[in-house]
């Protein structure tokens, strides 16, 4: 057994051993219901670290900071045993080992700085490798530890959602397609080096296909949770895209993978996409429905009305009230537009009659007590109409899109205004 084999074996065996020891030391937590969430946080931290390490290694190789020996068992230029062990230490262990986050980050960073120069048979360091090390510590280690700890503590919801979005976007749209094309046909070069119009068209279509998934993630966040099974919302979500389709995230991913298969000219990726749909429909969906039926009393009624892959033309149980000013020209025009879409279950009321508090923007009040103002209220109103208008509502209601459009609308005269009070 050569020294290189021993080093690679230790890089994988030691992290696995630490994870096993740490997880067993927390077995008593299962009695208090925390063990499942802690294990889920460890898996999530591992996935983020695994994806982020793959991306940063590609950057490091491109900039000449380091490169790995082309040994057997490598993927994307990185030995898998080292890759997995790295991700376990940086992503999984922080969720399993108690202690201050700063101490963990400093300890992992110090060990990495100490070990990297001593792996000269496995990794070749460039003269500026510390730049890459700084990038890895800031872009992989710190977010991995934060994601794991936030998931365990159910803290920092916005941060959890963003890091989860990065994790699963990289996993589903980069890492898994790369693995499929490595073993099958197709190449990223077909997408990136092809005609500019084709690349642009595919990327734009993928962006459009991502809207239902992003809107669904936003609905989960509004309900106090995330799409991750071990970090779910506190109530059943039936609004937004879920009022039309039970699997909006999976549907978006399937469409984007199909577009990637076309762009990369990969029949293997197309076949994997079909396999993903089959797995979701025949394996994942029944299991998820069983869990939701046991946890959510309203699930069975929802499941009877909303299908997993075929969207409804009209929303599920639409109820909402939109307050628009009668004395505002732009508001009157907006009311005419909303009414022309023939919304279901939407009551439009004069804002001047709203006596709970003074309104200075349009207001939407939903069935679950949700409130949205300004352009967000109009986005919610559009979701009471047909699929096309609902898609527009999902798009303009996205967290990044809505503030930008609201700023533009305010500059055109559609901003806040004082309304004359009028009793109902």
* pLDDT tens digits along 154-173: 999 999 999 999 999 999 99
Strand 320-324: give its sheet, edge to edge.
346-350, 320-324, 363-365, 371-373
Residue with the larger pLDDT of the pair 357 and 371 = 371
pLDDT tens-digit map of 75-99? 999 999 999 999 999 999 988 887 7
Q: And the tokens for 212?
A: 């239902």
Per residue in 257-273, pLDDT (tens digit) is 999 999 999 999 999 99
Query: Rounded CA gap, 60 and 54, in Å?
Result: 10
* pLDDT at residue 281, as a whole number: 77
pTM for the model stands at 0.91
Mean pLDDT of the chain: 88
Higher pLDDT, 368 or 364: 364
- Average pLDDT on 95-118 reads 84
- Which H or E run contains 373? strand 371-373
Asked if pLDDT for residue 359 goes beyond 80, the answer is no
How would residue 411 be classed by pLDDT, with cut points 50, 70 and 90?
confident
Q: Is the pLDDT of residue 418 over 80?
A: no
Confidence of residue 419 (pLDDT cuts 50, 70, 90): low
Residue corresponding to tokens 């439009």: 348
Q: What is the pLDDT of residue 298?
A: 86
Q: What is the pLDDT of residue 34?
A: 62
Domain range 178-313, CATH architecture: Up-down Bundle (1.20)
CA pair distance 168, 228, nearest whole angstrom = 10
Report pLDDT for 276: 85
Per DSSP, helices labelled H in 245-320 are 248-264, 267-279, 285-295, 299-305
Q: Supply the pLDDT for residue 271.
A: 94
Question: DSSP letters of 43-84?
Answer: HHHHHHHHHHHHHHHHHHHHHTSEEE---TTEETTEEHHHHH
Task: Check: CB of residue 324 under 8 Å from CB of residue 362.
Answer: yes
Cα→Cα distances 386→154, 253, 295, 382, 389, Å: 36, 22, 31, 8, 6
Task: Using pLDDT thresholds of 50, 70 and 90, give the confidence band for residue 207.
Answer: very high
In the chain, residues under CATH classification 3.40.30 are 320-414
Report whether pLDDT(26) > 80: no
pLDDT of residue 216: 96
Contact assessment for residue 352 and residue 307, using Cβ atoms and an 8 Å cutoff: no
Confidence at 31, pLDDT banded by 50, 70, 90: very low
Q: Is the pLDDT of residue 233 over 70?
A: yes
What is the residue-wise DSSP string for 170-183? Answer: HIIIIIHHHHHHHH
CATH, range 320-414:
3.40.30
Per the CB < 8 A criterion, the answer to whether 202 and 11 are in contact is no
- Which segments of the chain belong to CATH 1.20.120.1630? 178-313
32/42 Cα distance (integer angstroms): 18
Count CB neighbours of 297 within 10 A: 9
């Amino acid at each position: 057994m050569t020294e290189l084999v021993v080093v690679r074996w230790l890089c994988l065996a030691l992290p696995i051993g630490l994870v096993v020891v740490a997880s067993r030391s927390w077995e008593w937590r299962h009695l208090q219901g925390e063990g499942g969430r802690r294990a889920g946080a460890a898996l999530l931290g591992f996935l983020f670290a695994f994806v982020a390490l793959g991306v940063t290694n590609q950057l490091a190789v491109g900039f000449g900071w380091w490169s790995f020996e082309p040994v057997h068992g490598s993927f994307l230029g990185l030995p898998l045993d080292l890759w997995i062990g790295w991700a376990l230490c940086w992503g999984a262990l922080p969720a399993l080992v108690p202690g201050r986050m700063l101490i963990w980050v400093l300890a992992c960073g110090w060990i990495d700085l100490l070990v990297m120069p001593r792996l000269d048979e496995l990794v070749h360091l460039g003269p500026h490798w510390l730049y890459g090390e700084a990038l890895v510590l800031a872009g992989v280690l710190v977010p991995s530890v934060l994601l794991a700890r936030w998931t365990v503590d159910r803290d920092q919801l916005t941060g959890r959602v963003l890091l989860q979005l990065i994790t699963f976007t990289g996993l589903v749209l980069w890492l898994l397609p790369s693995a499929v094309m490595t073993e099958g046909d197709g190449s990223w070069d077909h997408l990136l080096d092809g005609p500019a119009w084709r690349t642009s068209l595919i990327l734009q279509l993928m962006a459009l296909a991502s809207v239902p998934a992003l809107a669904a993630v936003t609905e989960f966040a509004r309900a106090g949770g995330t799409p991750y099974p071990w970090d779910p919302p506190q109530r059943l979500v039936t609004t937004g895209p879920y009022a039309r389709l039970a699997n909006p995230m999976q549907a978006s991913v399937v469409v984007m993978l199909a577009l990637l298969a076309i762009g990369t000219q990969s029949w293997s990726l197309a076949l994997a996409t079909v396999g993903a749909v089959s797995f979701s429909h025949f394996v994942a969906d029944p299991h998820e429905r069983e869990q939701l039926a046991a946890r959510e009393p309203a699930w069975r009624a929802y499941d009877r009305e909303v299908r997993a892959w075929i969207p409804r033309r009209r929303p599920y149980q639409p109820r909402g009230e939109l307050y628009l000013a009668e004395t505002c020209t732009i508001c009157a025009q907006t009311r005419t537009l909303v009414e022309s879409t023939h919304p279901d279950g939407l009551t439009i009321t004069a804002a001047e009659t709203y006596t709970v508090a003074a309104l200075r923007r349009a207001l939407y009040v939903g069935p679950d007590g949700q409130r949205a103002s300004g352009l967000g209220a109009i986005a919610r109103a559009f979701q009471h109409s047909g699929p096309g208008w609902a898609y527009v509502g999902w798009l303009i209601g996205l967290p990044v899109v809505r503030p930008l459009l609201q700023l533009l609308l305010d500059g055109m005269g559609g901003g806040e205004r004082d309304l004359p009070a009028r009793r109902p």
